C-alpha cells in the first residue's frame, strides 16, 4: 500500500470531491480516482458512498482515514529519525507544554536553544497537564514542559519521569486601585473575601490556587474561568476579581494590574521536564533534554 495513496485519502475525505482533490494535489483527476479504487480494492470495501454524483465518507472510510493518518504520521516520523541519524545536528522534536508556560517560559527556552542548534525543528502541542501525560504515554510528544500533575507530588504516573528544572514564585494579581495593591507581600488569607478569576478545572494553576486557598483556610469564590494567564490578567485589570499567577517577566505585565508576591508557604510553582520513563530518545531529543537539565536552576 503506497503511503501517497493514504495521504490522498485524507485530502479526499476532507473535500469529498475528486475534482477538488485533484486540483489541490495538482494531479490529473483520473489519477485520484485510480488511487481510491486501489485503496478500496486492497481494503475490501467501498470507502465512500456515491450519492447523486458526489462522494460521502462512509463508516468504512472513517476507519480507513483514522488509520491512514496514524500510518502517515509513523512513516513521517521514521523518515525524520533516519534523517537525524544521517545528520545529527538536525532533527525534529515534538514538545508538549501547558498553556500557562506559552507566554514566557517556552519562548525563552526555545530562543536559547536555537542559538546553539539552529537546524533543529520543533512541533509544539499545548494542553492541560493530564492531556500531556496521555500524549507522552501514547508517543504523540517526545517530552513536555509542565508542572506536577498534582500539587506536592511528581506526576502520579509510573510511565512518566518528571525532573524539576525551574521554580516560579506565585503572586496575587490585583487591579492597580485594589486595597492590596500597595503591599510588598500578601498572605492569601487576606484575599478570602475576594472573587477569584482562575483557570479550567484540570489546569495546574487551578489546582495550585485551590491548594493554596484551602491551606489558607478558605474555598475560593470563583467568578470567572479562563485558559490563559494573559486573559486572567486582563480580567483582573477590568476589576472583575483577583487571580493567583506566576510572577511575570517585565514584558508580560498587563497595564492596570499589580503583582503582589504571596507570603504563604508553598506559594511557588515547580516547572519540570516530563518524558516517557522507558524507551530510547532520538539524538535530537536527547541533546535537547541534556540542554534543559544543564540549564536547570
- 110-121 tens-digit pLDDT: 999 988 888 888
Give dist(CA 292, CA 95) in Å, integer.
13
Give dist(CA 274, CA 161) in Å, integer.
6
In terms of pLDDT, which residue wins out, 190 or 203? 190
Give dist(CA 229, CA 126) in Å, integer.
14
Q: Tell me the range of 16-25, 52-61, 177-186 where mean pLDDT is highest.
A: 177-186
* DSSP-assigned letter for residue 159: T
Q: Which CATH class is domain 89-166+270-294?
A: alpha beta
Question: What is the pLDDT, as a whole number, of residue 151?
Answer: 46
Is there a contact between 257 and 235 (Cβ–Cβ < 8 Å)?
Answer: no
Question: What is the pLDDT, as a whole number, of residue 48?
Answer: 93
Position 152 pLDDT exceeds 50: no
Q: 3-85 adopts what CATH topology?
A: Arc Repressor Mutant, subunit A (1.10.10)
Is there a contact between 174 and 280 (Cβ–Cβ < 8 Å)?
Answer: no
Query: Using alpha carbons only, what angle is made at residue 273 by residues 272 and 275, rounded to the nearest 5 degrees?
Result: 145
Global pTM exceeds 0.85: no
- Give the residue extent of every domain in the chain: 3-85, 89-166+270-294, 169-268
For the ranges 2-11, 148-157, 191-200, 222-231, the lowest mean pLDDT is seen at: 148-157
Mean pLDDT value across residues 172-177: 95
* Percent of the chain residues past pLDDT 70, beyond the cut: 92
In terms of pLDDT, which residue wins out, 52 or 157? 52
SS3 content of the chain, % helix, strand, coil (to 5): 45, 25, 30
Q: What does the mean pLDDT of the chain come to? A: 87
Position 65 pLDDT exceeds 50: yes
pLDDT confidence tier of residue 281, bands split at 50, 70 and 90: confident
Mean pLDDT value across residues 277-283: 82
Mean pLDDT value across residues 132-142: 88
Mean pLDDT value across residues 87-94: 77
CA distances from 274 to 75, 152, 278 (A): 25, 16, 12
Position 276 pLDDT exceeds 60: yes
Q: Provide CB contacts within 8 A for 150, sequence distance 6+.
A: 156, 207
pLDDT confidence tier of residue 156, bands split at 50, 70 and 90: low
Question: What is the pLDDT, as a whole number, of residue 252?
Answer: 54
Q: 169-268 adopts what CATH topology?
A: D-Maltodextrin-Binding Protein; domain 2 (3.40.190)
Question: What is the pLDDT, as a whole number, of residue 250?
Answer: 59
Question: What is the pLDDT, as a whole number, of residue 159?
Answer: 82
Amino acid at each position: 500500500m503506497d503511503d501517497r495513496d493514504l495521504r490522498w485519502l485524507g485530502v479526499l475525505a476532507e473535500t469529498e470531491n475528486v475534482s477538488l482533490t485533484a486540483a489541490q494535489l495538482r494531479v490529473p483527476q483520473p489519477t485520484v480516482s485510480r488511487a481510491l479504487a486501489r485503496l478500496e480494492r486492497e481494503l475490501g470495501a467501498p470507502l465512500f458512498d456515491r450519492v447523486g454524483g458526489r462522494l460521502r465518507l462512509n463508516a468504512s472510510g472513517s476507519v480507513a482515514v483514522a488509520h491512514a493518518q496514524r500510518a502517515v504520521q509513523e512513516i513521517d516520523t521514521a523518515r525524520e529519525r533516519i534523517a537525524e541519524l544521517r545528520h545529527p545536528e538536525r532533527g525534529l522534536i515534538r514538545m508538549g507544554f501547558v498553556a500557562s508556560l506559552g507566554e514566557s517560559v517556552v519562548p525563552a527556552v526555545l530562543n536559547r536553544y536555537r542559538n546553539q542548534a539552529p537546524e533543529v525543528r520543533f512541533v509544539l502541542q499545548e494542553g492541560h497537564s493530564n492531556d500531556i501525560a496521555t500524549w507522552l504515554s501514547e508517543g504523540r510528544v517526545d517530552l513536555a514542559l509542565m508542572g506536577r500533575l498534582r500539587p506536592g507530588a511528581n506526576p502520579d504516573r509510573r510511565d512518566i519521569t518528571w525532573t524539576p528544572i525551574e521554580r516560579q514564585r506565585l503572586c496575587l494579581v490585583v487591579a492597580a486601585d485594589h486595597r492590596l495593591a500597595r503591599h510588598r507581600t500578601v498572605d492569601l488569607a487576606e484575599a478570602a473575601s475576594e472573587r477569584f478569576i482562575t483557570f479550567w478545572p484540570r489546569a495546574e494553576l487551578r489546582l495550585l490556587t485551590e491548594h493554596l486557598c484551602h491551606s489558607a483556610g478558605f474555598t475560593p469564590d470563583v467568578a470567572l474561568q479562563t485558559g490563559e494567564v494573559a486573559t486572567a490578567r486582563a480580567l483582573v485589570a477590568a476589576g472583575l476579581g483577583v487571580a493567583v499567577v506566576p510572577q511575570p517577566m517585565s514584558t508580560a505585565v498587563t497595564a492596570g494590574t499589580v503583582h503582589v508576591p504571596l507570603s504563604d508557604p508553598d506559594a511557588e510553582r515547580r516547572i519540570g521536564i516530563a518524558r516517557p520513563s522507558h524507551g530510547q530518545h532520538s539524538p535530537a531529543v536527547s541533546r535537547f533534554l541534556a540542554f534543559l537539565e544543564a540549564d536547570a536552576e
